[in-house]
Structure 1
Amino acid sequence: MANLVSIAKTVGSNRIVPTISIPHPLGDPTTSVEEQWKLRKHRVEVAVDALANDIQEATIVEVKV
Structure 2
Amino acid sequence: MVKEIERFGIPIIHMATITTISESVGANRIVPTIAIPHPVGNPKVSPSEERALREDLVKRALYALNTPVDKQTIF
Q: Same fold (TM over 0.5)?
A: yes
User: Matches of residues 18-37 of structure 1 in structure 2 within 5 Å?
Assistant: 18-37=32-51
1:6 positional shift = 0.2
Aligned: 1:59 with 2:53? no
1:47 positional shift = 0.4
1:18 positional shift = 0.1
Larger radius of gyration: 2
**Where in structure 2 are there 5+ consecutive unaligned residues?**
1-14
Q: What TM-score comes out, normalization by structure 1 length?
A: 0.90
CA distance, structure 2, for counterparts of residue 30 and residue 51 of structure 1? 29
Aligned: 1:10 with 2:10? no
Report the AA paired with residue 19 of structure 1: T
Q: What TM-score comes out, normalization by structure 2 length?
A: 0.78
User: Matches of residues 32-51 of structure 1 in structure 2 within 5 Å?
Assistant: 32-51=46-65
1:4 positional shift = 1.4
Higher relative contact order (CA 8 A, sep 6+): 1
Q: Secondary structure at the match of 2:43?
A: coil
**Where in structure 1 are there 5+ consecutive unaligned residues?**
none
1:34 positional shift = 0.6
Moved over 6 A (4+): none
